[in-house]
Amino acid sequence: MIIKKIAIGNNSEAFIEERFQNKTNIIFSDDNNKGKTILMQSIVYSIGYDSIWPVGFNPRNYYFYSKISFENIDYEFLRHNNSILVIGNNQNYIFNSITEFKYFLAKEIIPIPNIPKDGQLKISDLSLFYELFFLGQDRRNTSNLIVKSFNNKTDF
């Protein structure tokens, strides 16, 4: 997965970040309240994760766009609330629920592991992705901060 562009906006304000390079990118600022958390949360939110937002930020008022390459194919995602538009591989897709989108993501774009839960294999939640791949600057453990999905440590 290579992140190429992120955008967040509505009819009165917008932010676009497209300085990502095809290598490790570090988002930093010496100051707080500069948008680092919103930028990182927007990446995973645009591809279906229900992020925990900073106090005072209402994601329902914004559109979230990302351009991400999976296995050398660029996909563009546009999310508003629980609706997601996907453009990629010469196709357009519209999803009106996150569950519907998650199964498409796992089947058509990138394999998402199935995890045994209560005797059945279930597709893993994107919160697991966030816990594994994003590290905050404040030494907090991401596994204690996020919205818990249906998995817990006894499942592993």
The CATH number for 91's domain is: 3.40.50.300
* Strongest mean pLDDT among 5-14, 96-105, 125-134, 139-148: 5-14
Instruction: Write down the pTM of the prediction.
Output: 0.81
Q: Fill in the DSSP letter of residue 107.
A: I
Domain that holds residue 36: 2-112
pLDDT at 132 over 70: no
Indicate whether 17 belongs to any domain: yes
Q: Who wins on pLDDT, 138 or 36?
A: 36
- Asked if pLDDT for residue 140 goes beyond 70, the answer is no
> Letter for the amino acid at 106?
A
Q: Is 45 inside a domain boundary?
A: yes
pLDDT in tens, 35-81: 888 888 899 899 988 877 888 889 999 999 999 999 999 999 999 99
Say how many domains are in the chain.
1
Give the mean model confidence (pLDDT) for residues 121-144.
63
Asked if pLDDT for residue 95 goes beyond 70, the answer is yes
> Is residue 130 included in any domain, yes or no?
no
- For the stretch 51-90, what's the b/e string if a residue is b when 16 or more beta carbons lie within 10 angstroms of its beta carbon? beeeeeeebeebbbbbbbebeeeebbbbbeeeebbbebee
Higher pLDDT, 69 or 137: 69
Helices (H), 22-153: 36-46, 98-104, 126-133
Please give the pLDDT value at position 92: 97
